[in-house]
Amino acid sequence: MNLKTQKTIRLTLSYLVVLVMAVVIFYPLLWIVGSSFNPGDSLSGSSMIPKHATLDHYRDLFDQSKNNYLLWYWNTLKICIATMFFSVLAISFTAYAFSRYRFVGRKNGLVTFLILQMVPNFSALIALFVLGQLTGLLDTHLGLILIYVGGAIPMNTWLMKGYLDTIPKELDESARIDGAGHFRIFWQIVMPLAKPIIAVVALFNFIGPFTDFILAKIFIRSEEKYTLAIGLYDMISKEFGNQFTEFAAGSVLIALPIAILFLSLQKYFVSGLTAGGTKG
């Protein structure tokens, strides 16, 4: 077998793998989008390309006399934005401290973060529920935000610390010689260079609460405080709940804020990849 034939075979196999992965990823998405435009409530008669497409399900979602979808959307956005902001803030300070300073318990702290990340969130559901009752944060958005922020710190601290370690410490020393303090070095020197990893952390911590169901279901009890995940589940799980096509429409709209945020931060992802490829 000559070199040209081997190259053709490898290229063909590569395209086949990409094609299979594309089908696996896009088929469910196209099917749920098509279902959201199908008339009726059942998914059994839905098709990927609707024969009689309708926007009725989207209109029903925005009809507050029929459901609280807009309220659930606002609750979810509020929780996600707050989680993203406070997570990025806490993780930035923590990762900077572990990357730039040497202190007693530093290695043990990093190992503890690694161990905590190995413990799945659902294994602590009972403890979180009891803690929420004791603190009065049960059935509040604040309690949910605190859990999301705390749960995001271990893994993302490791992620951001690894990136901050690649930023030369000579920049800190030069700034310190010029009279810059610790906070100024952090805010004006290191953080602007860490925008790509900050964008990644921000995106992860925005998506997480948007798609979470278990923690939200445990903590939130009042319908007016529901997130989208709980509200959409309640829409089809309650007695006589058969609004499956409306559920599909609500699921499609969930992707909009995530797509907007991703496109807004895309330039930082690209610059991060470029910077990573040129460092040596």
What number is the average pLDDT over the span 234-252?
78
What pLDDT, on a 0 to 100 scale, did the predictor assign at position 271? 63
User: Which has the minimum average pLDDT: 28-42, 55-69, 262-276?
Assistant: 262-276
What pLDDT, on a 0 to 100 scale, did the predictor assign at position 203? 92
Name the helix (H) or strand (E) containing 94.
helix 69-100
At 228, the pLDDT band (50, 70, 90 cuts) reads very high
Question: Which domains, and CATH codes, for the chain?
Answer: 3-58 (no CATH), 67-241 (1.10.3720.10)
What pLDDT, on a 0 to 100 scale, did the predictor assign at position 60? 85
**Higher pLDDT, residue 40 or 186:** 186
Beta-carbon contacts of 87 under 8 Å, excluding residues fewer than 6 positions away, are 148, 149, 152, 153, 156, 201, 202, 205
What pLDDT, on a 0 to 100 scale, did the predictor assign at position 280? 39
What number is the average pLDDT over the span 241-253?
82
What pLDDT, on a 0 to 100 scale, did the predictor assign at position 207? 93
Q: What is the pLDDT of residues 152-182, one digit of tens each?
A: 999 899 999 999 998 998 988 899 988 888 8
Q: What is the pLDDT of residues 6-21, one digit of tens each?
A: 888 888 999 999 999 9
Q: Report which of 67, 49, 47 is spatially closest to residue 58, judged by C-alpha positions.
A: 67
8 Å CB contact between 224 and 71: yes
pLDDT for 273 beyond 60: no
% of the chain at pLDDT higher than 90: 38
Query: Rounded CA gap, 178 and 188, in Å?
Result: 13
